[in-house]
Amino acid sequence: MPSVMIRQNDSGQLTFYVSKKDLEETIVSMEHQGPDQWGGEVELADGSRYFLDPLEAVPRLPITLRAKRL
């Protein structure tokens, strides 16, 4: 369960950043995009998939969350 930071980059895409693993990837898809649920399964540009416990609302970015590797 790495701790990841979700952030919006300059071109408006969501990025997925794990400092310990030196990983910064853009998110290509996210299961729940809001408004009343946000998170779930995410897929990164390199094809790897993670799971974020869904939040009740769209959070203020950046935000640090725990993610599970799928």
In terms of Cβ atoms closer than 10 Å to its own Cβ (0-12, 13-18, 19+), residue 1 is exposed
Number of C-alpha atoms within 13 angstroms, CB side, residue 14? 21
CB of 38 to another protein, least distance (A): 16
| Binding interface with another protein (CB under 8 A) | 5, 7, 17, 19, 22-24, 46, 60, 62-64
CB of 16 to another protein, least distance (A): 13
Compute the distance between CA of residue 46 and CA of residue 48 in angstroms, rounded to an integer.
Answer: 6
* Nearer of residues 34 and 59 to another protein, judged by Cβ: 59
CB of 35 to another protein, least distance (A): 20
